[in-house]
């Protein structure tokens, strides 16, 4: 709840753009998630996010086509927005297509995507940085709205009727297969979640959702005790230390710097031998599990890995 940014100045600066947009009759284009998911641009942000936030909270998903973790988090947010049915709205911002909003995100001190902010009553607050399994994102959103309610800053609007059960669609129950993993994530028990995802994979090694969940949990476990800046600096100072390169690649993955992480490990494979080389290779393969199987960066990295090995 800390670090709220008043968007009033941006609202005033965008007034003329609003007027031009109103005269032209344009509007924000709905994304595949339907009426509760909007593609927002530099020109429509003020109306579709800032003004809308006076009556309903808006989660803003900053993403880009090249960002693998964004392709994991985006569909989860769209699904949850559709389930919420108006309790909150999701606004999606492609930072490559909307440089003003991309620059605005950087001014907030955010350097990596995916990044999600919440806007309530014209106030923007950082919310999520990085991808996570659906159960963890769902829990974070529930905690967010509990906090907003306790602070007394939830706007009076459509979400109040939905919260009271008026016209709210029945929410789908959690898949019992993933129940143990979701329960563990809700408790903040990453080790328990890891064990639960592993049990799912023991029964069905081809379960893509469990693979992704396990990979994300394992990444979270590895980086939770790392100091990002110190880890990167150590990797720079010790280019021949494969373990330092592995830790640095984890930090880069968390911050959305996928190409850097893959390139670092490929360099480690080329420059090492024996157990060190095998450790770098295996770690690179484990990072592939964090991205959709058809991500072009995986195919490119696999080709480079084969060239390095053979």
For the segment 262-309, what is each residue's pLDDT rounded down to a tens digit?
999 999 999 999 999 999 999 999 998 888 777 788 889 999 998 888
Active site residue 218: no
Encode 236-273: b = buried (16+ Cβ within 10 Å), e = exposed. eeeeebbebbbbbbbbbbbbbbbebbbebbbebbeebe
Distance CA 57, CA 50 (A): 10
Q: ∠ CA 231-236-237 to the nearest 5 degrees?
A: 95
Q: How far is CA 310 from CA 158, 272, 302, 306, in A?
A: 60, 14, 12, 6
- Report the alpha-carbon distance of residue 67 to residue 71 in Å, rounded: 7
Render pLDDT for 99-134 as a digit per residue (tens, 0 to 9).
888 877 777 777 788 899 998 888 888 888 888 888
- Residue tagged active-site, from 14, 40, 59, 70: 70
**Stated pTM of the model:** 0.47
Collapsed DSSP state (helix, strand, coil) of residue 14: coil
Instruction: State the catalytic residue, choosing from 58, 60, 67, 105.
Output: 67
Q: How many CB atoms lie within 10 A of CB 41?
A: 19
What is the per-residue pLDDT for 177? 60
202 is catalytic: no
Confidence of residue 175 (pLDDT cuts 50, 70, 90): low
């Amino acid at each position: 709840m800390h670090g709220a940014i008043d968007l009033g100045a941006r609202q005033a600066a965008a007034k003329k753009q609003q007027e031009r947009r109103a005269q032209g009759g344009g509007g924000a284009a709905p994304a595949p998630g339907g009426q509760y998911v909007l593609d927002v641009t530099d020109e429509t942000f003020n109306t579709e996010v800032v003004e809308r936030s006076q009556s309903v909270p808006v989660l803003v998903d900053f993403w880009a086509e090249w960002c693998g973790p964004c392709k994991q988090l985006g569909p989860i947010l769209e699904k949850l927005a559709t389930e919420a049915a108006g309790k909150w709205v999701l606004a999606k911002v492609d930072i490559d297509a909307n440089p003003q909003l991309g620059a605005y995100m950087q001014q907030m001190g955010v350097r990596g995507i995916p990044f999600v902010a919440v806007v309530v009553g014209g106030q923007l607050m950082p919310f999520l940085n990085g991808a996570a399994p659906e159960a963890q994102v769902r829990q974070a959103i529930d905690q967010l709205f509990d906090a907003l309610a306790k602070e007394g800053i939830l706007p009076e609007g459509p979400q109040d009727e939905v919260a009271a059960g008026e016209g709210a669609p029945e929410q789908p129950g959690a898949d019992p297969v993933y129940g143990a993993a979701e329960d563990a994530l809700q408790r903040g028990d990453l080790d328990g979640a890891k064990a639960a995802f592993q049990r799912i994979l023991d029964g069905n090694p081809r379960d893509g959702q469990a693979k992704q969940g396990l990979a994300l949990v394992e990444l979270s476990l590895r980086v939770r005790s790392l100091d990002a800046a110190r880890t990167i600096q150590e990797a720079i100072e010790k280019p021949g230390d494969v373990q330092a390169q592995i830790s640095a690649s984890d930090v880069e993955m968390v911050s959305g710097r996928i190409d850097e992480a893959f390139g670092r490990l490929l360099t480690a494979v080329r420059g090492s031998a024996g157990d060190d080389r095998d450790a770098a290779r295996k770690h690179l393969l484990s990072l592939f599990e964090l991205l959709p199987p058809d991500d072009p960066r995986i195919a490119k990295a696999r080709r480079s890995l084969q060239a390095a090995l053979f």
